[in-house]
Amino acid sequence: MRTVTVNHRDFRGRTDYWIYETKEKLLHDIPEANISENLADAKEGDYVQSCNGWLVPLLQITHLDNSYYVRDTKRWKRKKTYTHRVYHFPKQKLCISENKIGQKTFNYVPASSKNISSDEKRNRMYELSKRKIQWAQFVINGISPEDATTIVYPNVFNRNALTKSLLLNEKLMNYIIDRTKKVHRHEMDNAGLTGEFILKVIKSTIEDPNENPQLRIMAMTIANDLIMKYT
């Protein structure tokens, strides 16, 4: 569980909110809590299940009408007004077009780590960025690591090096392993993300003298951890 403190500018003032990792813990602490699996069905006061493993209280839902657009630094009125729904979570807001709410993936990543406390030494909420989580979700759902990198990081020059660094990211791999318990294993196999594939990446990174030194250190660290764990 994490405690997120928000300094509201209205009558609520400084308020603590509790973010949970499991439904069991949430319902133990708040038996009457209503849990929503997606944003489309969520109501104010519900706890919403995020794709990156958090149960987050939905503080408020507001609406925003967008009647203008900008072109060549000028503001123009639209022929049609688009309505957006704004979801207010502790330290995070999501603005989504009404007709796309069912397609939206919700990852809970607060705007900053300030005023977030935990009884653990490390705060998992800040170990992975939004884009790393998005990359992992593509891979989990059957897209190859290389293609996932192209989608999530379209402007990166050396995509092979970035893909390799993502595969060697221990926190990211642990996230993928944890999430694959909830999906079909064959989707991971179809993406080519097998144990054998990852071991080959580690081995080739260590053995390549021209490889980025930081990547070689990451690979050696993982290899050493595996040796210590399984020997």
Q: What is the pLDDT of residues 16-63, one digit of tens each?
A: 999 988 888 899 999 999 999 888 889 999 999 887 778 999 999 998
Domain containing 143 equals: 127-230
**How much is the pLDDT for 56?**
93
Number of compact structural domains in the chain? 2
- Do 27 and 107 lie in one domain? The reply is yes
Q: How far apart are CA 138 and CA 191, in angstroms?
A: 9
**How much is the pLDDT for 124?**
53
Please report whether residue 73 resides in a domain.
Answer: yes
Among 82, 113, 144, residue at a domain's last position: 113
3-class DSSP state of 41: coil
Provide the percentage of residues in the chain whose pLDDT is more than 70: 77
Among 79, 113, 147, residue at a domain's last position: 113
Among 85, 113, 141, residue at a domain's last position: 113
- Do 134 and 107 lie in one domain? The reply is no
- Do 151 and 184 lie in one domain? The reply is yes
